[in-house]
Structure formats: C-alpha cells, structure tokens
Chains A and B, each alone.
Chain A
C-alpha cells in the first residue's frame, strides 16, 4: 500500500498563535508558581515559564505548552474546543446552586449536659420550657423545609444536646415522613449528639426511621474529657458506649465522629488519629475552633494561631498518608472536601467553600425559639447579639419572605468570591468560598479584609499543601485521589 502520510508538523499549531484563557497564579515555593484556570485545573510552573506563557513566547513544541493546552489555559489556531469544554465544566461546577437548600438544621434545644469551653453556642441548663423548640414551631419549620425545591432534603437535629428534647425530634421525623409520602424527596435525618442520653427507645426509633448519628470525639480519653467536661467526667466513656450500641444495633455506617482542635490537642494529632483507628473509624475531620459563642468568651479560640493549626493539620495529614502507604485506609475529611474541588468538576455542598456563600441557599437553621437563620454560624452570631443573618421567624415569615429578603440577597451578592477584593485575583479562588458569618464575627463585615482574614490564611495554607502533594508526590497524589468518592 503506497499511502503517503503527512508528518506531525503538518498538524502543529503556529508558534505565537495562542490566546490565553482566564487564569490566575500564586507563588507556591521559592522558584515555582501554581496557575489555575477558570474551573480549578492547575499547572505548577517555574516562574520564568509563566512569563513566557503570558507574554506569548511559549513554543508549541514545549511539553508545558501541551500541558497548558490540554488543561485549558490556552487555545491556538488549531483548536478552540477548549471553550466549549470550559463552559461545560463551569456549568457543572455551579449545578449545586440550582439544587438550592438541601440541609435543614433544627436546633431542638439549647440545653446540654456538657460544658465544653469551645462550644459554639451558649448552652443553657435551667428552665426547660424557655430553651426547647415547641411542637408548634417544629411543625411550621417542617412546612418551610418542604418549600425548598431541593430533590434531596437532609434534616439535621442540633443543640445543645438534641436528645434532651427527643419528643420534638420524633414529632419532626413523623411529620416530615408523612409529608414526604406525597413530596417524594430523598429524605435523610441526622442527629448531632454527644450520645450521653442515648437509650433503647431512641435506638428503636432510629432503626425504624433510618436516623443516623454524628457525634464528637476529640481523641484519647484524657484529651476528650478535658475538652468536654460533664458531671462525672465520663464524656469519653459515654461516647464510646454510644458508638458501640449504635454500631451493634443499627449498623457500622450509622454513626460518624468529628473532632475539634483545642490548644491542648496541639502536638497530639497522631494520638487522635490512632484513637479514631482504634475505634474503627475510617475518617477523621481535623477541625479548627470556630470563633463563636463560648469559644470567644472563654478565649479558647485565642489559644493558638493559624500557623499552629496548620502545623497540626499538616502533621496529621502526613501521618494519615503514611498509614495509607501501609495499606491502612483512613481519610482526612477537610482534605477530601478540598480535593473534590481540585480533582473533579463537581460542585461542592460544603457550605464554607461555596461562591456565592451557601448561606440559606445551601443550608438553613430553624432555631429553638422559631427564629430562622442563614447558617449554623449565623445563630451562633445571634447568641453573641449580632443578628446580621437572622432571616425571619417561623410564626411570621413565609418561604418567599425569607428567601427574597434584602438581608439574604445582599449578603449573597457580596459573597460571590469572583468579585470579592483579593479573592478575584487569587489562584485558589476555584477551590475556596467566602464564609460571611466568620468574617462578620471576626471583622464585623461579611466580606472582610482578606489580608487580615484567618479564614483566608488557613485555607491558603491547606490549598498550597495539598497542591504540592498532588504535584510533587505522585504516589501520595494517588492516595489522595482515592479519597474522592467517584
């Protein structure tokens, strides 16, 4: 067969013909920058290479040219389909916004048997009637829940210690299930509890209605009990007993655990991870303290710096990765949330890392007193006498009142990170969000000055660390990618 084929050069782009697509960059170490495109695809480049790229000097034969072209940083005279694909990816990332409010938090009581110094809400121990949600308010809140167009509805019971007002939990579950016979949403229930009040009646109800539990576990017994005082100093013992009862009666996947990093946790991250492993958990969420409620009054939030927390997180992640290298499967949850934003095109439902903010449109809170807040943090702010994100009351406001209120719309408009000063130029914008309640608490402004924002500093540290692993440590990058549920 005498067929003549054209050589490769025939199909090569003309040097200098390329045009840049939107990109942002940031120094990642002494000599290199990370560049990200519109949807968070990234390339790590030597600084000089970045200059060549933006000044039109990068030659099509350079491997970096191909890398940048396939990752949609440029189009050239041979191919423009990158625009179609970028548009598609941007739409996919934004899809959760259209899904609207999926997480509905019911604060069924403020009462609690614990007196944790880092507590984000101001607990109350006396006067049952004053700090419990009423049946009437609960019913009105369930009505509001089903006004959300979301196909998936998760109702999360919060406190205080929600199991201290189990009658209202039962009422809400029964009302919601009744309503859902015609609504046909994907309905889930979660109870955020310290498990100290768990009993057979609650377990039987949970089994019948597919309730799952989320509990607090701060690490080894001394650390946990130090963080979480209660009469009898047995919080750890009760939590473990509760976890075991749930697993043995309802199933292994019906209880998850969260930790909060206190000053006394610093330096003990391996022990914390080991405690999670000992108890058979497959994930740990290394969470910093939130600056609300008692955490502010008790000054515990000032007990360590962002750098302290970052060191804690990095050491913990390093330890977790080394466990994975031994074949022990365990994930760090915050890393997983960030990874999903870096390595997939899916949008996130994680409220703190959305643009615009997830306030109200991703999650909403029905407080014990019938007030409706735009987020869990918003009701914590309100406990600190700042009602910036109080959206209404179940007695007096309709769904439309709440979601078309100037208060909500203006804060949402101001939290589109793409238009926020400093965020707009930040390489990590595609991975980040804007936490207006946090900035309101810290800087008395929902947008805040990012140079002074510890939210910004902490997340930048996390993003850089994860990107360096993804770029420089291929075998660890594989482990990390495995954490992102397909």
Chain B
C-alpha cells in the first residue's frame, strides 16, 4: 500500500509559513518566473544551491546542518519516497502535515471533496463526519490548475460531493477549464439531482467527459434504504438518475455486493435492465473491507464464492439488455470463468495488492487483486490458476 499523507513532517526551516499547495519539481534550474507554484525536491541540500523563488524545499535526506535553509523546507517522509515531478502536495508546516493530492504518474487520482454525507451506508469505506470541512474545496480549487493536462482520469469523491451545492459546481467547472481532456468521475448518491434544476445546472457546465457514479443496492426501497440507512433515499436516487439522463449527463450505476443484497442481485439486474437501460455503465463491486465495513465485518462481508451464481445471473441479465457492465474488485479465481471478460482491475494502484497464494498464477496480470486497506478478509477459495483464460 502507498501512503498518501504524513502527519509527522520534519520541518527544517525557521520561517514557518501558512499551509500551501504546490507542485513538485526536481529541476533546480527552473526559470525563476515558473518557480512560484513549485516545491523543489532534492536528494540533499548544500548552501551552494540557488533556490530563490521556489514555494518550498523538499529534501529526501535531512542535512546535518540546518542553517540558511530557504523558507518552507521540509524532509520528505520515507513512506512518501515515491513522490516525484508533477505531483501536487498540500504542505502544512505548522501542523507538520503533508498530503499528496495528486500523483502525476497514476492513471487515476481521487479527490476527497467533503466528508459530510446524507447516507450512513452499512459498509461505507469512508465513514462520514459532520464537521464543516469546506476548506477542502478551497485547497482543491487551488490544486486543480497544477495538475497535468494529460491526466487520464480524476474522481471527485466524498462524503456526498453534491452537498457542497454551488461549490460542487465550481469544482466541476474548474475541472472543465483547467483539465478539459481529463475524464471526470463523480461519486454521488444522486439524491440532489431529484431536483431537475440541479441536474440541469450540472449539465450546463458542459464538461466534455463527465460521468456520475451512483450507488443502488437493491431493487426495492426497503433494501436500498436499509443499506444506506436513510428513508426516502430510493425514490430520490432513481429520480436523480432519471433527471441526470434527461439533462444529458452520463450516469454509471455502482452496486456494492454485501451480505444484505447478494441474494437479490438477479432481481436488481432485472430492474436495471428494464427500467434504467439508458445507463452508461453498471459496475458490480466487491466490498472494500475498511471503514464501517471493517467495524461491521460479520454483518456485511460475504465470501464472493458464495454469490458466484447470483453475480453471474446479474451480469448476464444486464449484458443481454445491451448495457455495458463490469465486475470490480474481484479476484478471477472467485468468479465464474464466464464473467472474466467483464472483470476489471479496478482497485486504485496505491491500495492494490496480491497474496502469497497468487505467486505463479497464470492470470495474475489480469486479476483485480485485493484491497490492502482495512482488514485482510479474503475468500476461502483463493488459489493460483494454472490455465489460460477461456475464449
């Protein structure tokens, strides 16, 4: 697992500044005019370095003598040693905190925009917090212009991003303006869009490559609302989906499979195929055993092998309706081979791992692997596969 933050930053310079957002560079000859938004990453520092104008200095090795250091000089924590050119950091010297907001080399970056939420899902991997965290948006609005314009994909996640209201729209607008070639994926429960006006406002931004990922856990209100722990959620989410599509915004449905809903997957698939045929993608997802899922493991976890048949039925029903469907977060050895062509390597690189049992597996290069986050709960049936994929 790759760590994305540190709270024990070793701050070297006396001039302790306010928190700031900056991009990493290793080019100490960068023209002075370009240095204002950059932190310079060096292996070590010597007084001969000409470092005027950089926003800060990031050292892989702490110098023996720490005099005449430029302002905002910090030591890069060893667990963040992967940080490199183009990454965007938030450094808060006073709090001894450093957060990696964006990794230049990752195919996919997720931005946490708020921790507030109007759901309390049984298996939430990112349990909500009630505190006002509106400063997160300010940080992101200043960070987005620093991201590389050839970034393939960025995800806005929460919490429930749309609770930010106009500030959510400001984030989408910033993504459109500064990263017009980057796919934007927003994870939302969709309820805000049960107001058609809200859907139209989002559509009016005309982001060139936007998709809203919306969870649905059951085909009945009672099941979905039990999982998200909120009465009235089902109707609002469905209306939200309808309004988004009406406004011309692309929508992906995301179904996290768990103990409460695995038996009902075929019914949910039928419902989706009959009512929501116009969806742009459906993802059937394995559980990430962290957050509430970790705390409630016994009541939410189910071995994927136990729902093999239900998952197959569900995927085929959706595929038969001509819809795009994928299986996320599953290991190929737990899936019916007929579903391998739908399985994606969906776990973000920084929290993706494989087990000792996986060594020598013929399919490892195509397998989704495991979450390294949370508790190490695994299917009892993990094994190395010896044969090639079915045609």
Q: Is A268 an interface residue (CB 8 A)?
A: no
Query: Could you pull out 15 A-B pairs where Cβ atoms are within 8 angstroms?
Result: A1-B292, A1-B295, A3-B120, A5-B296, A13-B222, A66-B219, A67-B267, A69-B220, A78-B222, A81-B238, A85-B242, A88-B242, A88-B275, A478-B320, A482-B320
Inter-chain CA distance A70–B270, complex, in Å, is: 9
Q: In the complex, which residues of chain A have a beta carbon less than 8 angstroms from the beta carbon of B323?
A: 486
* Interface-facing stretch out of B46-54, B227-235, B346-354: B227-235
Q: Is A80 an interface residue (CB 8 A)?
A: yes
Which single member of A1, A8, A66 contacts B226 (CB below 8 Å)? Answer: A8
Nearest residue, chain B, Cβ from A2? B295
The answer to whether A41 and B274 touch across the interface, beta carbons within 8 angstroms, is yes
Inter-chain CA distance A354–B13, complex, in Å, is: 80
Which single member of A3, A8, A66, A85 contacts B292 (CB below 8 Å)? Answer: A3
Min C-beta distance of A483 to chain B, whole Å: 10
Q: Is B340 an interface residue (CB 8 A)?
A: no
Q: Contacts A67-B267, A481-B320, A486-B322 known; A84 to B239 CB distance under 8 Å? A: yes
The answer to whether A5 and B277 touch across the interface, beta carbons within 8 angstroms, is no
Interface size class of B (residues with CB under 8 A): 20 to 34
The answer to whether A11 and B225 touch across the interface, beta carbons within 8 angstroms, is yes
Q: In the complex, which residues of chain B have a beta carbon less than 8 angstroms from the beta carbon of A85?
A: 238, 242, 275
The answer to whether A84 and B221 touch across the interface, beta carbons within 8 angstroms, is no
Min C-beta distance of B216 to chain A, whole Å: 12
Q: Is B374 an interface residue (CB 8 A)?
A: no
The answer to whether A5 and B120 touch across the interface, beta carbons within 8 angstroms, is yes
The answer to whether B320 and A486 touch across the interface, beta carbons within 8 angstroms, is yes
The answer to whether A11 and B222 touch across the interface, beta carbons within 8 angstroms, is yes
Inter-chain CA distance A12–B264, complex, in Å, is: 16
Min C-beta distance of B233 to chain A, whole Å: 9
20 new A-B pairs (CB below 8 Å) besides A6-B229, A13-B221? A1-B127, A3-B127, A3-B295, A5-B120, A5-B229, A10-B231, A12-B222, A41-B274, A60-B222, A66-B219, A67-B267, A70-B267, A78-B225, A80-B235, A81-B234, A84-B239, A344-B277, A478-B316, A481-B320, A486-B320
Q: Is A345 an interface residue (CB 8 A)?
A: yes
For residues 229 through 272 of chain B, which have their beta carbon under 8 Å from a beta carbon of chain A?
229, 231, 234-235, 238-239, 242, 260, 264, 267, 270-271
Min C-beta distance of A226 to chain B, whole Å: 40
Most chain A beta-carbon contacts within 10 A, residue among B219, B274, B320? B274
Binding site for A on B (CB under 8 A): 120, 122, 127, 219-222, 225-226, 229, 231, 234-235, 238-239, 242, 260, 264, 267, 270-271, 274-275, 277, 292, 295-296, 316, 320-323
The answer to whether B127 and A66 touch across the interface, beta carbons within 8 angstroms, is no
Q: In the complex, which residues of chain B have a beta carbon less than 8 angstroms from the beta carbon of A60?
A: 222
Min C-beta distance of A86 to chain B, whole Å: 9
Interface size class of A (residues with CB under 8 A): 20 to 34
Inter-chain CA distance A13–B224, complex, in Å, is: 13
Q: Chain A, 67-89, contact with B by CB distance < 8 Å: what is the 0/1 string?
A: 10111000000111100110011
Inter-chain CA distance A10–B232, complex, in Å, is: 12
Min C-beta distance of A241 to chain B, whole Å: 36
Q: Contacts A60-B222, A344-B321 known; A5 to B275 CB distance under 8 Å? A: no
Q: In the complex, which residues of chain B have a beta carbon less than 8 angstroms from the beta carbon of A88?
A: 242, 275
Nearest residue, chain B, Cβ from A8? B226
The answer to whether A10 and B292 touch across the interface, beta carbons within 8 angstroms, is no
Q: In the complex, which residues of chain B have a beta carbon less than 8 angstroms from the beta carbon of A10?
A: 226, 231
Min C-beta distance of A174 to chain B, whole Å: 36
For residues 76 through 131 of chain A, which have their beta carbon under 8 Å from a beta carbon of chain B?
78-81, 84-85, 88-89
Inter-chain CA distance A435–B114, complex, in Å, is: 60
Which single member of A71, A79, A482, A484 contacts B235 (CB below 8 Å)? Answer: A79
Which single member of B122, B221, B321 contacts A78 (CB below 8 Å)? Answer: B221
Inter-chain CA distance A486–B319, complex, in Å, is: 9
The answer to whether A11 and B226 touch across the interface, beta carbons within 8 angstroms, is yes
Q: In the complex, which residues of chain A have a beta carbon less than 8 angstroms from the beta carbon of B226?
A: 6-8, 10-11
For residues 1 through 23 of chain A, which have their beta carbon under 8 Å from a beta carbon of chain B?
1, 3, 5-8, 10-13
The answer to whether B277 and A79 touch across the interface, beta carbons within 8 angstroms, is no
The answer to whether B316 and A79 touch across the interface, beta carbons within 8 angstroms, is no
For residues 160 through 198 of chain A, which have their beta carbon under 8 Å from a beta carbon of chain B?
none
The answer to whether B295 and A79 touch across the interface, beta carbons within 8 angstroms, is no
Inter-chain CA distance A481–B269, complex, in Å, is: 14
Q: Contacts A3-B120, A10-B231, A486-B321 known; A89 to B275 CB distance under 8 Å? A: yes
Q: Chain A, 31-71, contact with B by CB distance < 8 Å: what is the 0/1 string?
A: 00000000001000000000000000000100000110111
Inter-chain CA distance A6–B225, complex, in Å, is: 10
